[in-house]
Chain A
Amino acid sequence: MAVGLTLIFGVMRVVNFAHGDMMVWGMYLAWLLSTRAGVDPYLGFVACAAVLFVFGVGIQRVLVDRIVDAPHEMQILLMLGVALVLENTALVAFGPDPQRVRSPLRAATIWLGPVFVDVARLVTFALAMALTLALYLFLTRTDLGHTMRAAADNAYGARVIGADVRRVYAVAFGIGAACVGAAGALVSPIVPFQPAGGLGLSVASFNIVIIGGMGSLPGAFLGGLIVSVAESLGAVFLSPSMKELVSFTLLIVILLFRPAGLFGRPAP
């Protein structure tokens, strides 16, 4: 999920405030697939990713493209508008109640001595790692990936050497959206989701990406680990309801002292 966000930012310098809400749609798509077509989310996530890829490309072409060079405030507001539309359309379409997707994996647990491991989470983790690896390979080994990184580094230079920057942007946004769609689908059996959850997920994504470093893939990955561990520790040592406080405080500290995060490049 954070990987998708960092990709969008890294390539286009656009901050996607609608990220969390796109993830919620990923979850609902998985739910639809599961309840209407009987497709298990651990397989169906591919479809969710595909749908969101198309959506991402669409959004980019129609909306974001026009404001890529505009001041940041405009981008933020635009994505905020998209977020509002996404969240409330989900509300109208699916109702406000939390849903969960049933999957046979959900109930399974493996016990390793006193510690237990939730199979569903394990599978999600494995798939997420696999996807991240795939993305990494894509960016470093394929032509399109190279072009994308070139465009990220220097859009003007990339144009000069003939790269179709607009297409690259569209693909980047699409992949970012696909990531988040897949993430949503993979997580849908584990976590109850509702339209109002979009905001929380966006903030969580930002937390992770800022801590790991905007624009850096390994940063996003590590950021995710750091934030989850910090939150869990917070839940154990402080009151569990304060664990959100931990991640926000962490965010503030990172923003102040190292806004580039652990691995990222400095802000423009």
Chain B
Amino acid sequence: MSDRRAPSRVHRRTFLKAGLTAAGTAAGAAALGFPAVLRAQVPTFKVGAIHPVTGPLAEPGQACRLGAQMAADAINAAGGIKSLNGMKIDLIMGDTQTKPDVGRTEAERVINQGAQMLMGSFDSGSTQAIVPVAQQRRVPFLVDIAAADPITANVAKAVKEGQQKVQYVYRNFPTGSSFGKKAVQYFSEVFQEAKVSPKRVVLMYCNDLFGQNNAKGFQAAHAAAKPGWEIVDVIPWPEPPQDLSTEVSRAKAAKPDIIAPITRPASAQLLLPEIRKQRLDILGVVGPGSPGLYEAGQIAVLKEDLEYVLNSTPWANFRNRRTQKVADEFLKRSQGKTFDTNSGYSYDGITLIADVLERAKSTDPDAIVEALRKTNFTGGLMQYAGPVVFNEIGDNPNAVTTMIQILGGKPVAVWPREAAVQKFVFPRPKA
């Protein structure tokens, strides 16, 4: 080969190669480090808001981002963090694309750009990948939305067993296990209040992360609570499904009084019309908690099929006067979307962070964690069963779900009583 023929040429070529590689790598490294230099000027408190704004969860991800931004704007407009001389909150946005490796990289990127706290990230998989970053870099991480219990539980365990010094990960959202418990509780309470006793409930769910987790939690809670109604059949489907006629037939064969679906938007669009088509004779559709049953987009597509559907889902407290104002602003800024779980919890997350900073009076991570653990916050817009507090695992036991119902083409809170904006309609009227 030509290598052997001309030794002098080898030197020039290899020198070129080595030089170019070095230059390329250095340029690349410099480019990666560059943004950090630009941002170091105005002293603001930077929060990395990381959500899946692109990819399959783009819609809720974008809602989260907007909710967070609105909260930051509101806080800054009101004067910022007073105990830190009116320091404003600046959000550095990140996108997980619903992938754990991207989640991790984005967390590192925003920290590199100056983020002193992290908030995110909706889907448990990416959220979990951000946890090590928070622990490694000592950056407090408030999980605004993500249900998987291990996210905080694992960290709490590591701290308890001495492998980690401080827990930097906290969550203000109902955990997977609490979803199930509350759902079972609400089911029984609604049945009792309506003075009907459905006996046969068929649980149908989308066989993905969220669906499986919720379904398991629901069944476990049901086994523990032993209410007067039975889960007579459990029917999962692969998400997203092409067709649910087989599943619904199977449900029908179980002679259900209630269909309890855990869906995603795609499957809900198939499931509800199918229930109608196969003429299931049921008292109602009551969901243990899932997306797909209340969003504006879903209502537009499903119309009458969604009417009277109940769903036990985290929801904003519309009896709080501020909530409606924020919802209206959200409607405007998002061009027509409802202020719901996603935007709501991200909004509350930022408001909560502001409260923590006020009490911490410092930007030191350990001081922030101290203040976090002592939180007793009542300024949230979401429906809570008490003030926002954090238990030993790092979760907020007062973050609960609300039973909502689609009435008149709009989702409204109907149960528990202290959250209800309207009275529920159950059993559903015969078609």
| Residues of chain A whose beta carbon lies under 8 Å from any beta carbon of chain B | 95-98, 100, 106-107, 109, 116, 118, 190-192, 194, 196-197, 200, 232, 235-236, 239-241, 243-244
Contact = CB atoms under 8 A, between A and B. Distances in A.
Contacts of A191: 242-243, 270
Contacts of B235: 240
B100 interface: no
Interface residues of B, number: 28
17 contacts: A95-B58, A95-B59, A96-B57, A97-B59, A98-B266, A107-B276, A116-B277, A190-B243, A191-B270, A192-B240, A192-B266, A197-B240, A235-B246, A239-B236, A240-B235, A240-B247, A244-B238
A243 B301 CA distance: 27
A200 B239 CA distance: 11
Nearest to B297: A97
A239 B235 CA distance: 7
Given A96-B58, A96-B59, A116-B278, 15 more contacts: A96-B54, A97-B58, A97-B265, A98-B266, A107-B277, A109-B277, A191-B270, A192-B270, A196-B56, A232-B246, A240-B236, A240-B238, A240-B246, A240-B250, A241-B237
Interface in B237-275: 237-238, 240, 242-243, 245-247, 250, 265-266, 269-270, 273
Given A192-B269, A192-B270, A196-B56, A98 B240 contact: yes
A98 B247 contact: no
Contacts of B301: 100
A240 B246 CA distance: 8
A236 B277 contact: no
Q: Quick one: which of B58, B59, B266, B270 has the most chain A CB within 10 A?
A: B266
Nearest to B52: A96
A235 B246 CA distance: 7
A18 B335 CA distance: 34
B112 interface: no
A67 B186 CA distance: 62
Nearest to A98: B266
A36 to B, nearest CB: 16
Nearest to A228: B243
A241 B265 contact: no
A14 to B, nearest CB: 26
Nearest to B238: A241
B207 interface: yes
B171 to A, nearest CB: 26
A58 to B, nearest CB: 28
Nearest to A96: B58
Contacts of A241: 207, 236-238
Contacts of B245: 118
Contacts of A197: 240
B408 interface: no
B277 A118 contact: yes
A35 B72 CA distance: 38
A100 B250 contact: no
Contacts, number: 61
Contact of B246 (A190, A196, A200, A236): A236
Contacts of A192: 240, 266, 269-270
Contacts of B33: none
Contacts of B265: 97-98
A98 B298 CA distance: 10
B55 interface: yes
Contacts of A118: 245, 277
B27 to A, nearest CB: 28
B56 A96 contact: yes
Contacts of A190: 243
Interface string B144-167: 000000000000000000000000
A196 B278 CA distance: 29
B90 to A, nearest CB: 28
Given A116-B278, A241-B236, A244-B238, A194 B246 contact: no
A243 B238 contact: yes
B55 A96 contact: yes
A96 B60 CA distance: 11
Interface string B376-417: 000000000000000000000000000000000000000000
Interface string B85-108: 000000000000000000000000
B269 A100 contact: yes
A194 B240 contact: yes
A153 B342 CA distance: 58
A235 B247 contact: yes
A20 to B, nearest CB: 12
A98 B235 CA distance: 22
A244 B277 CA distance: 25
Nearest to B245: A118
Contacts of A196: 56
Contacts of B58: 95-97
A98 B269 contact: yes
B354 to A, nearest CB: 32
Nearest to A234: B246
Nearest to B55: A96
Contacts of B240: 98, 192, 194, 197
Given A95-B58, A197-B240, A106 B273 contact: yes
Contacts of A107: 273, 276-277
A236 B266 contact: no
B150 to A, nearest CB: 23
* 4 closest A-B pairs by CB: A241-B207, A98-B266, A235-B246, A241-B236
Contacts of B238: 240-241, 243-244
